[in-house]
Amino acid sequence: MRQQIIRELSQAKRSIIVEHGYLTDRSVIKVLRQLNRSGITVQVILPDFSDGAWHSNMESAHKLLKPSFTHPSYKNTIEVFLYPGMIHAKAILIDESTAIIGSANLTYGSFDHLNETNVILRKKNRAVEQLREQFQKDIALSKRLTPTTIPRYFLILAWLQRNLI
């Protein structure tokens, strides 16, 4: 699942929106940063309340938003939003025409240990359009994070959550 999601993300030409309850997989975070560095608009919606991965989600928000020391000319334009409440969505929209929806979280446990799956919708259709509309509504309700407004989180709890969920 991880390889397929990364493959789909890597085909983006303009934009990616990710709305997930748990985003802790470092490979996915790395790809999102690389794609943003190449000019792709990246928006991520995470829950402000989580039933088990809040600290690891905040660590992921930090990783997504931090400046790049290896690419000093790169201006990070990734947007991370905190949705007020829990999100159980597991959805990605690429270039407003490809949607990935399913049961697989963007976590090590989901990718490496659980038999979860997703479906990929590749044509711009009503389902994909409704997903885009819902993302816009969720972003409007959310608070945008910056590197200085990420809530305090505990690294040891982030590590535990990242490795156990």
Does the pLDDT at position 33 exceed 90? Answer: yes
Q: What is the DSSP letter of 47?
A: E
Would you say residue 130 has pLDDT above 80? yes
What is residue 7's predicted lDDT score, i.e. its pLDDT?
Answer: 95
- Could you give the C-alpha distances from 64 to 2, 25, 150, 161, 163, in angstroms and in order? 18, 12, 11, 18, 18
Bridge-partner residues for 99, per DSSP?
93, 121
Task: Report, as an integer, the average pLDDT of 25-53.
Answer: 93
Range from 17-21, 58-62, 67-71, 101-105 carrying the lowest mean pLDDT: 67-71
* Neighbour tally for 83: CB within 10 Å: 19
Task: For residue range 86-117, list pLDDT tens digits in order.
Answer: 988 899 999 999 999 998 888 877 777 777 88
Q: Out of 12-21, 42-51, 137-146, which region has the weakest mean confidence (pLDDT)? A: 42-51
DSSP secondary structure, 48-94, as one string: SS-SS-HHHHHHHHHHHHSPPSSSTT-----EEEEESS----EEEEE
pLDDT score for 9: 97
Residue pLDDT, tens place only, 71-83: 777 788 999 999 9
Q: Determine the Cα–Cα distance for residues 57 and 66; give it in Å rounded to an integer.
A: 14
β-bridge mates for residue 47, sequence order: 83
